[in-house]
Amino acid sequence: MKKKKITVSFEFFPPKNQESIDSLWTNIRRLEPLNPSFISVTYGAGGSTRENTHSLVKEIKNKTSLEPAAHLTCFGTSLNEIEKIADDYWSAGVKHLVALRGDVPKQQNTKKNDFKFATDLIKFLKSKYEFDITVSAYPEMHPDSKTKEQEYDVLKKKIDLGATKAITQFFFNVESYFEFLDGAIKRGINIPIIPGILPVTNCKRTIEFANKMNCKMPNNLAEMFKGLDKDVETRKLVAVTIVYDQCKKLIEGGINDFHFYTLNRADLSFAICHILGIRTLD
C-alpha cells in the first residue's frame, strides 16, 4: 500500500518589536520551502496584538507563496469591528480564518459582547463571505466544558454553521487524540481534525500552560528535561525526539496531517519535518 503524503501547517504569533519582526521573517522563510498547506497567525490574549496580526497576515499574503490563516477572536469585540476586519481580509485576498471565542477576561465589558461564542462568530462570518473557516478542538476537554458530550456538541454546531476543519489544542497523550477522533466519527463529525503538535523546550512553562488547558503531561516527559535548564541545545534534541515519537504513533494510526505550534522558532519544526520526509525542493 502506498504511503499517504504527509502535509503540515505552522502557527506563528505576531512580533512586538523590530528585533522580533526580523527574527520572525527569518523563521517564516525557513519553513516556506516545505510548502505547508497554510500558516496561521494568532492574536495575543484579549486581541492585544490585533493590528500586528492583520499587518502580518497581509504581508505573508503579499510577500510569500504561503496561504495565511488569520486567527480571529470575538469575545469583547463589537459586531462593527468584526465586520470591518472581515471586509478588510476579504478585500486583501485573505479567505482562510481561524474562528475562536478568545479568552474571557475576569472583568468583562458587556457593552462590546455582541459575540459570546465562536459559533456566533462563524455564523456572522459565513453570512458575509464564503470564508474557509478553521476552528479549535479539545481532545482532553476545554476547561469550560462540563462533559465530553458538550465538547462534541459544540464542535458539531461549528461544523453545521460552516467550519471545514479543526485544529486541536496541543496534547502529548496520543491515545486521547484517537479516542476523541473515534467519538467524533461516531457522532457524524467528519471534517479533518488536525492534531496540534507542540515541540517542548521550556518544560516548566509548558507544564504550567498544560495544567490550565487540561492537557495531561506524562511524567516521563518532564523527567527527560531534568538537569537541562541551562543546556538549550540538548533540550532541542530532546524536544525533536519526543515530537518525532508522537508523530510516528499518529502516522501509524492513519494520521497524515499535522499543525505545528512553532512559538516563532523554525528550527525544531524544520528538523521534525525533515525526519518525517518533508524536504525542501532543492
Domains of the chain, first to last: 7-275 (3.20.20.220)
pLDDT score, position 205? 84
Own/partner contacts of 240-245, CB < 8 Å, gap of 24 or more, are 240/199, 240/268, 240/271, 240/272, 240/275, 242/172, 242/199, 242/200, 243/197, 243/198, 243/199, 243/200, 243/268, 243/272, 244/272, 244/275, 244/276
- The answer to whether residues 130 and 204 touch, using CB atoms and an 8 Å cutoff, is no
Please report which confidence band the pLDDT of residue 144 belongs to, taking 50, 70 and 90 as the band edges.
confident
Mean pLDDT confidence for 85-93 = 96
Q: Which pLDDT does position 133 carry in this prediction?
A: 98
CB 101 within 8 A of CB 148: no
Q: Is the pLDDT of residue 52 over 50?
A: yes
pLDDT digits over 244-258, tens only?
999 999 999 999 999
pLDDT tens column, 154-170:
999 999 999 999 999 99
Number of residues that make up the chain = 282
pLDDT, greater one: 94 or 103: 94
pLDDT of residue 72: 94
What's the rounded Cα separation, in Å, for the pair 149 and 86? 31
66-79 pLDDT, tens digit each: 999 999 998 888 89
Please indicate whether residue 281 or residue 26 has the higher confidence score (pLDDT). 26
Catalytic position from the list 11, 32, 81, 252: 11
- Decide if 11 is catalytic: yes
Give pLDDT, residue 104: 67
Of 60 and 20, the structure prediction assigns the larger pLDDT to 60
**What is the rounded average pLDDT for all residues in the chain?**
90
Q: What integer pLDDT is reported at residue 237 of this predicted model?
A: 93
Sign of CA dihedral 94, 155, 148, 185: negative
pLDDT of 1 reads: 42
**Does 4 or 186 have the greater pLDDT score?**
186
What is the model's pTM?
A: 0.92
Q: Residue 3: which pLDDT band, with cuts at 50, 70 and 90?
A: low
Least confident of 25-34, 101-110, 169-178: 101-110
pLDDT digits (tens, 9 = 90+) for 189-227: 999 999 999 998 888 888 888 888 888 888 888 888 888
Alpha helix ranges (H) inside 114-202: 118-128, 148-160, 174-186
